[in-house]
Amino acid sequence: MRRIVSIAIALSLSLFIYLFYRSEKTVVNELMIFIISFDTYSAMRSNVIAMIALPESIVFSLPGGLWIFCVTMLSQQFYLKIGEQKIPLVIVPVLFAIGLEFCQLLHVTNGRFDVWDIVLYLLFWLIACDPFDSERPQQNMLFPFTLHSFIFLACFLSVYLAHVSQ
């Protein structure tokens, strides 16, 4: 239960930052504008920013670290079997995020490369990893495909909501 509460708080904080401090062209913000109208969104955003000033380092780095934390927590019991190899999915979130940072460095994707993002990814990944729980049952991610599998994939794919439209 504590794990679920931690994930919910982290995702809610990330959503809050994205909705009120990141670009209006972010997919999640475009969805919000579609639902409540641009004028309502702009008014809410202005009020929140006026009440709570956040430094750029928090606005642009913390949500990624929190996402790594959540996806790592969700991935700990899963592996993916490819041939005879069992790949623990707990390593995938941090490798994916660092890979995206290097894609930004090489201008393969939108965004700005930031070493501090990588540091936060590693920090939140280490916090989420539970080295004391070696008794956790390991389950193939896809067979059987469970609700937990779906939640992990949904959280993992939610990174698209952070994409900035052109």
DSSP 69-133: HHHHHHHTTEEEEETTEEEEGGGHHHHHHHHHHHHHHTTSSSS---HHHHHHHHHHHHHH--TT-
Q: What is the pLDDT of residue 89?
A: 84
| pLDDT tens digits in sequence order for the chain, 166 residues long | 777 888 889 989 999 999 999 988 888 889 999 999 999 999 999 999 999 999 998 998 899 899 899 889 888 888 888 888 888 888 888 998 899 889 889 988 877 888 999 999 999 999 988 655 556 667 887 788 888 788 777 777 776 666 565 5
Q: What is the pLDDT of residue 134?
A: 56
Cα 112 from Cα 105, distance rounded (Å) = 7
